[in-house]
Each structure stands twice: as structure tokens, then as C-alpha cells.
Structure 1
């Protein structure tokens, strides 16, 4: 019979290589080492995080700490709910229009890349879609110039993808809807990588695997007033209200993924918070972009004014 023993701490990281994957992305070594320990025995409970009930006191603590740290990191006020859903950001492309638009209503969308295109296609199957701005004609090499933006007066919300991983572009700042439509953002690949004023948004969603942790969990930050607008004639598991009111646990959530998001957020807070992350990202991006701009051999795809700090 095999005898299980506690894992020994690894003295060095000599067997690890550089990882530039867009997602699942690299995780801080400090987080991985803490996860090693907590997979064996978390909070001196006698069992690991993978084995704890999602409705037990240990996971209650994990979830509470995760939310508190997210609020501290992102300066998220009490008027917003913070919770996790499943199905990846791709499912949110459908859940957003399903919850907040009806077939005869219009939603505004920016078309700036692959993931933005997926969001547009999903919305078109559920409501009317107005394209505010598009860079499709130039192979998504830029964020559309503000002079070309065309908003709907009656839009129920305005959706944009803040960072476009495949094409290397990023909105320099969130758009402002002139007619007051709530802003909805897919922030999967740049969430908390730079300053963000959460109060400008109706809803933010972010798949964890690019910038917050491992695959399996989606962070949602939503204003109470915006959540109150959602449709009630939907199946229970397709309502944001369900996940918000039941604290991310209408069923068994991806407990380990949520735990790791919490550990990554703790690491961010310990390393300068959003200000520290912004400085790190600018430094890394400058090293690459400065070299690309100094040579005639390489030509970057993204226009300089739209370059992403994350695609490095």
C-alpha cells in the first residue's frame, strides 16, 4: 500500500523555464509555493484546499478573504457585487445580452479583435447590435479613433474588450457613452494590470486564466443597480442574480481556481498593488517595444497609439 507523505519545499526554481503563454499564463512562484503547502494542509485544518467542501468554514474563509482582497486591490465600493461564475469569459459573451437585453433592444459594441468579435456574434443571436467602432478593415491593428465612434441613443449597455491578446491592442482608457448606457467590459487579459475606476462600469467580467490565476473561474464585478435590470424569465443557472445572491455557490464552484485567484491577489497587494503592477508592465513592455522600434528587421502589428502593455 502506498504511503502518502507531505511534499517537501523546492529549494530553487532551476527546473522552471520562461513562460510567455497568453493563458493559462505564468503564476508568481510565491503563489505556487503557497499552493503546494495548502494542497496538503490549508489553515492547519488537516486536509488540503482541493478536498474541502465548498460550503464548509474553510472555504467560507477562502472566499471571504478573496473578495475582501479584490475590493482592496481594485477599490471596489459596496455598491458593487463581487462574485465568480463558471463557463469562461466566452459564456459571458452570451450571458450579458441574455440578462440585460431583449430581442427588440439595442446594445452597443466595439469590434476590436477576435474576442470582441465573438461577443458581437453572441449578442446578435439575442438582441440588436450597433457597432460603435471597428478596426476590422485594418486587421484589428488599432483601437478605432474616437472620431469614428457612433453610439446608439437607446442602447441598454455598451460592451468593449479592453485588451485584445491576439492583435496586441489595448484601449488606452475606457470609453464614455454619451447617452449614459452602462459600460460592460471583458477585462480578461488586463484586469488589475493598470489603474481602473470601477465606478465607471455597470459590469466587468474577467476569465481568471490570463491575469488572475488558473483556468476555471470568471470574476464578475457588477453594480447593484445594473444587476437589478436583468431579466427574470431565464433559467436559474443563467442569471447573474443567482451567482450574486448565492455567493458564487449555486452549485459546486471551482474551489481551487478561486483559492488561487485569492493568492494571486494577495501577491499583487504585497507587491505594490495596481501601481506596482502598472510599473512592472510598463517596464517589461518598454524593453520589447523599444527594441522593435530601433530595428528595421521587425515591424509590429499594433499601431503605437494602441499598443498593449499586456502582450509581452
Structure 2
């Protein structure tokens, strides 16, 4: 391989070269203080400069209202699967869990350990493709402590772009793979959480954005490390956090602002995904099984018409610098994740490779031509 390498992995995902270089430059000596950024005490004034700047930039990017707290936690999204019901549902209260794919199902199965979980499957088929029922058709409970859903299923490649509007009900969203990929209206949600290893930064940090009035509702059995109120009171410093990951998240927020903010990054993400989907739609040798109305812009799973060619596809793709295109083990096939840091050059290289692969291995099959 002589050209650049493009990492299409779903997470830990690629980081912008500018962020990596900045971290490299400051690794040995952070801003002339004589200490590595890895060595800064988490309660020191120096590290507070990092955390305060990170929160300020995140609030700017997402236009987070003052009545919301920003928590930098640990444990990934799976930790939040337990933290959400234990913080919000009290003793045994009911919660509605919207099932749209693998990760929302995982959240529901974990949640039912700590509350009475009503699992609502909103998946359907439209024109023989995977789709999601409109939110107006979701049978939401009046007595639910919260409604939990996942706007983007990284494994299934299914997105729910409809903006939630459930009145006074508390909406909780697992935005692990979409937070910071586009502007969102924070006030539509009571809690947003996201693990970092997609668009936010390296693995280790989990962001939680929570409305103030939802603090103080925790079950007594809640472990302190998952307690939103305690984490808010301690400014996310109840214990030693993953300091380097937090620092890198701050660099990512600065990078996003330098790109023009979330409106600019959203347009780029739409254009990148459109190029790949348009190519696959025109060449049925490549199969995407999600209805266009619910296709993810972040994670695009696809299959080959000749499934026995998958291993060869992966081998040759890696040979030209296209890395981590193997589909998740739950569904198989292939998957391209197009997070914020994926440049247009990566998508262009992928499409060019797919075209060449089709010409070489699909030309004998009349179904593989254009539509």
C-alpha cells in the first residue's frame, strides 16, 4: 500500500490528523508547564483549564441551554444503560424503551433489571426494506418515567431523524454515534448520552447532558460512580477521570469549531453518505437493506450480491488503504462508518475501489449492472 489509509471502523474511530498532531506536540510538555498532559493532576488548576475549555466549547457547538448540566463520565454507553433507569425511574417505575435495532435492544434488556421496562418495537418494512414507524404511531405510556430511544443504530444502519415531541414526557436518547454530527435541539430531550469513540474523541469518556430538574431522583441502590447528581456536584471529578481522553475531546471540540461548527459538518456528512448510497443504488451488486427514509449517515452496512466474495473484498480493500470495512458480527456483510473525521477523499477512494471490484468480479452476472 502506497497511498493514505482510511479507517472506516465504527469505533474506536478515526481522529482528525490535526487533532492527533496537536496531542502529539503537547504530550511531553503541555503549554510550557514542563509536565506531560498525561501527568496533570485531575484537580489541579492546569487540568481545570482543560476541562472548563472543553465544556465551554461543547456548549457553544450544541447551543446547550444553561439549565442543562454537562457530565464527563466513564463506562461507555453500556454503563448508561444501567445509569439511566437508576437515576430517573426510582423504585420500580415503568419506562418505555423504543426498540429499533441492536443497541436499543441492549439498553432495554439492561434497563429492565432496574425498572419495569415496556419494550416497544417500532421496526417495520417499507418496500421490502427496513424502516421505522412514525413517532405518532409509537404507543407511549402516560405513566412512563422516561422514553428511551437510539436515533442511530450503528450495526443496523437505521436512523430515526424525526424530532421527538412527546409533551412533558422525559425523552432519553443514546446518541453515541450521532452526537456532534449535526445540530440538534437540546430542549427536546431530558437526557442525552454518548460514548466518545465515534465523533467526540478517543474511548474512555462518556458524555451526559441532563436537564437540572432531573437530578436528585436516583434510586438508593445506584452506585456513586453512576450518580448524575453526585457527578454534577463534583464537576465530573468524583474520582480520577480518564484525563487524556478528556483532553483529546477538548481538542476535537476545537477542531469542530474550526470546521465551521455543526451546520457545516452536517452538510459534509450528508454529502459523503449521499455519494456512497447513490453508487450502491445504481449498482445492485452492492446491497443496502434500509429504506432511504431511515438510512444512517454515520454507519452504512451493505452486502455483496455474491456473498462468497466478502473476504476477497476486505483483503483487496485493505491493500489499497481501506481499513475496517468488515460488518458487525451480529449481521455480517460489510460496513462503512463515515464519522466527522472521515474526509471526502476516503469516500471517493472507497467508491472507486467498489467500482473496480464490481467490474472485475461482477461483470459475469447480469444483475450487477446499473439500474
Kindly indicate whether the alpha-carbon contact (under 8 Å) linking 2:75 and 2:206 is maintained by their aligned counterparts in 1.
yes
**Alpha-carbon shift at residue 237 of structure 1 (Å):** 2.2
Kindly indicate whether the alpha-carbon contact (under 8 Å) linking 2:182 and 2:263 is maintained by their aligned counterparts in 1.
yes
Change in 2 beyond 3 A, CA 1:50/1:16: farther
Q: Does residue 1:292 correspond to 2:280, yes or no?
A: yes
Kindly report which structure 2 residues correspond to 1:30-179, keeping only aligned pairs within 5 A, or say none.
Answer: 30-135=18-123, 141-146=130-135, 148-178=137-167
Corresponding residue number in structure 2 for 1:4: none
Q: Which runs of 5+ in 2 are unaligned?
A: 300-337, 339-371
Looking at structure 1, the residues matched to 296 and 204 of structure 2 have their Cα atoms a distance apart, in angstroms, of: 25
Q: TM-score, normalised by structure 2?
A: 0.77
Kindly indicate whether the alpha-carbon contact (under 8 Å) linking 2:42 and 2:48 is maintained by their aligned counterparts in 1.
yes
Looking at structure 1, the residues matched to 230 and 3 of structure 2 have their Cα atoms a distance apart, in angstroms, of: 43
Change in 2 beyond 3 A, CA 1:37/1:86: same
**Alpha-carbon shift at residue 140 of structure 1 (Å):** 9.5
Q: Does residue 1:185 correspond to 2:184, yes or no?
A: no
Larger radius of gyration, structure 1 or 2?
2
Helix, strand or coil for the counterpart of 2:270? helix
Q: TM-score, normalised by structure 1?
A: 0.91
Corresponding residue number in structure 1 for 2:231: 243
Kindly indicate whether the alpha-carbon contact (under 8 Å) linking 1:162 and 1:174 is maintained by their aligned counterparts in 2.
no
Deviations 1:187-210 (A, max 9, x none): 000001112001111111100001
Change in 2 beyond 3 A, CA 1:160/1:119: same
Deviations 1:170-198 (A, max 9, x none): 111232225x2111111000001112001
Looking at structure 2, the residues matched to 239 and 28 of structure 1 have their Cα atoms a distance apart, in angstroms, of: 32
Corresponding residue number in structure 2 for 1:7: none
Kindly indicate whether the alpha-carbon contact (under 8 Å) linking 1:113 and 1:136 is maintained by their aligned counterparts in 2.
no
Kindly indicate whether the alpha-carbon contact (under 8 Å) linking 1:110 and 1:134 is maintained by their aligned counterparts in 2.
yes
Corresponding residue number in structure 1 for 2:360: none
Q: 2:250 aligns with which of 237, 256, 262?
A: 262
Looking at structure 1, the residues matched to 125 and 287 of structure 2 have their Cα atoms a distance apart, in angstroms, of: 19
Deviations 1:133-184 (A, max 9, x none): 4328899932233353100011111111111000111111232225x21111
Please tell me the root mean square deviation across aligned C-alpha atoms, in Å: 1.9
Helix, strand or coil for the counterpart of 1:204? strand
Kindly report which structure 2 residues correspond to 1:6-25, keeping only aligned pairs within 5 A, or say none.
Answer: 16-25=4-13
Looking at structure 2, the residues matched to 15 and 136 of structure 1 have their Cα atoms a distance apart, in angstroms, of: 42
Count of aligned pairs: 298
**Alpha-carbon shift at residue 292 of structure 1 (Å):** 1.0
Q: 1:204 aligns with which of 180, 192, 197?
A: 192
Corresponding residue number in structure 2 for 1:222: 210
**Alpha-carbon shift at residue 109 of structure 1 (Å):** 1.2
Corresponding residue number in structure 2 for 1:283: 271
Corresponding residue number in structure 2 for 1:6: none
Looking at structure 2, the residues matched to 294 and 235 of structure 1 have their Cα atoms a distance apart, in angstroms, of: 52
Deviations 1:263-298 (A, max 9, x none): 001000110100111011001001101111112222
Helix, strand or coil for the counterpart of 1:82? strand
Q: Does residue 1:194 correspond to 2:201, yes or no?
A: no
Looking at structure 2, the residues matched to 229 and 174 of structure 1 have their Cα atoms a distance apart, in angstroms, of: 26
**Alpha-carbon shift at residue 233 of structure 1 (Å):** 5.2
Looking at structure 1, the residues matched to 221 and 86 of structure 2 have their Cα atoms a distance apart, in angstroms, of: 10
